[in-house]
């Protein structure tokens, strides 16, 4: 376990100093908090603002970003390795040009890849660097995959709700991130708040616990109000930002997208090749 932790720490600290897509891992302490819905709509919001976004659905075996977009992928990223597919066969072009790269269940087989297979994959996937952001939508909870994807990214976003169980699980996830020294700071989105006051109060409680007990720096990206239009959009398999652009949730997502753009300071992205090099290193 200590060897694994050391490997994760090295992956978290070794960023390539070149101007490439910024990798942002978006995760949560528990399922059912609306994380994937936020990922998809946030990607669309940034795309509409002139940025190019690719979503890497890294929720192994349980990814549903494609469902939220109304797609049924024929292949996943590991078909590039095992079935000799090209990147264009796998990447799905979603609403407003958002790209979706499904992970499938192949991450568990990374450690079995030969060096030749890895190099061939990296060569094929290098063309995806024509994006500004790569969102890694992980599974929920605390496990090796989630922590590995947190270590791979330049930035970490935790999605929680005001519910006590959601906050407790989100704190446990942050505690693991802090314990293995993967990140010293994280961004927070409070989803399904009854009003903005509840969203802010929820964040303040979370921030206080993280600061006092974990010594972690948190940044509040914003709250997304509980909105029936979101549920309707999910049932229609169309992102709410498209179906209901004037609803409260759409307004909130646009504000969060602007905050992400405002955080785009001196950090340079590692790019898709850098991302997968880190993933290969961690899972090998």
Look at the alpha carbons of 219, 185, 175, 140 in this order and tell me if their dihedral is positive or negative: positive
DSSP 3-state assignment of 14? coil
E strand residue ranges, the chain:
22-28, 53-58, 92-93, 99-102, 133-138, 155-160, 185-193, 217-225
Q: Is the pLDDT of residue 259 over 80?
A: yes
pLDDT band for position 152 (cuts 50, 70, 90): confident
Q: What is the pLDDT of residue 229?
A: 97
Domains and CATH numbers, the chain: 2-283 (3.40.50.300)
More confident residue, 270 or 157: 157
Mean pLDDT over the full length of the chain: 87
Q: Is the pLDDT of residue 106 over 80?
A: no
Integer Cα distance of 150 and 72 in angstroms: 27
Report for 57-61, 67-71, 227-231, 276-280: range of highest mean pLDDT: 227-231
The two three-digit tokens of residue 221, written as one number = 């990206």
pLDDT band for position 9 (cuts 50, 70, 90): low
For 63-129, give the DSSP string.
--HHHHHT---S--TTHHHHS---HHHH-EE-GGG-EEEE-TTGGGGGGG--HHHHHHHHHHHGGGG
Tell me if 159 sits within 8 A of 166, measured CB to CB.
no
pLDDT digits (tens, 9 = 90+) for 60-70: 655 578 888 87
Percent of the chain with pLDDT over 90: 54
Integer Cα distance of 54 and 73 in angstroms: 15
Q: What is the pLDDT of residue 8?
A: 63
Among 82-91, 104-113, 119-128, the least confident range: 104-113
Name the maximum alpha-carbon separation found in the chain.
54
The two three-digit tokens of residue 158, written as one number = 């935790």
Q: How far is CA 76 from the centre of its chain?
A: 17
């Amino acid at each position: 376990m200590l060897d694994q932790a050391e490997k994760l720490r090295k992956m978290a600290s070794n960023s390539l100093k070149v101007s490439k897509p910024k990798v942002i891992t978006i995760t949560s302490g528990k399922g059912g908090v609306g994380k994937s819905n936020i990922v998809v709509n946030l990607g669309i919001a940034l795309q509409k603002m002139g940025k190019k976004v690719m979503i890497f659905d890294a929720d192994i075996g349980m990814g549903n970003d494609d469902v939220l977009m109304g797609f049924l992928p024929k292949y996943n990223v590991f078909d590039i390795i095992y079935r000799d597919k090209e990147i264009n066969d796998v990447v799905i072009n979603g609403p407003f040009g958002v790209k979706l790269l499904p992970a499938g269940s192949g991450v568990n087989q990374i450690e079995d890849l030969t060096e030749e297979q890895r190099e061939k994959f990296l060569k094929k996937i290098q063309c995806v660097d024509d994006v500004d952001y790569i969102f890694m939508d992980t599974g929920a909870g605390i496990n090796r995959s989630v922590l590995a994807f947190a270590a791979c990214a330049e930035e970490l976003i935790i999605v929680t709700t005001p519910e006590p169980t959601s906050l407790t699980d989100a704190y446990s996830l942050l505690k693991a991130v802090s314990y293995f020294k993967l990140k010293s700071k994280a961004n927070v989105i409070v989803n399904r708040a009854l009003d903005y006051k509840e969203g802010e109060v929820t964040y303040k409680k979370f921030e206080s616990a993280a600061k006092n007990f974990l010594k972690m720096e948190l940044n509040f990206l914003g709250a997304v109000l509980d909105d029936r239009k979101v549920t309707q959009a999910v049932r229609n398999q169309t992102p709410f930002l498209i179906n209901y652009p004037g609803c409260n949730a759409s307004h909130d997502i646009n504000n969060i997208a602007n905050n992400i753009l405002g955080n785009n300071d001196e950090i340079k992205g590692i790019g898709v090749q850098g991302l997968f090099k880190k993933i290969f290193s961690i899972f090998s």
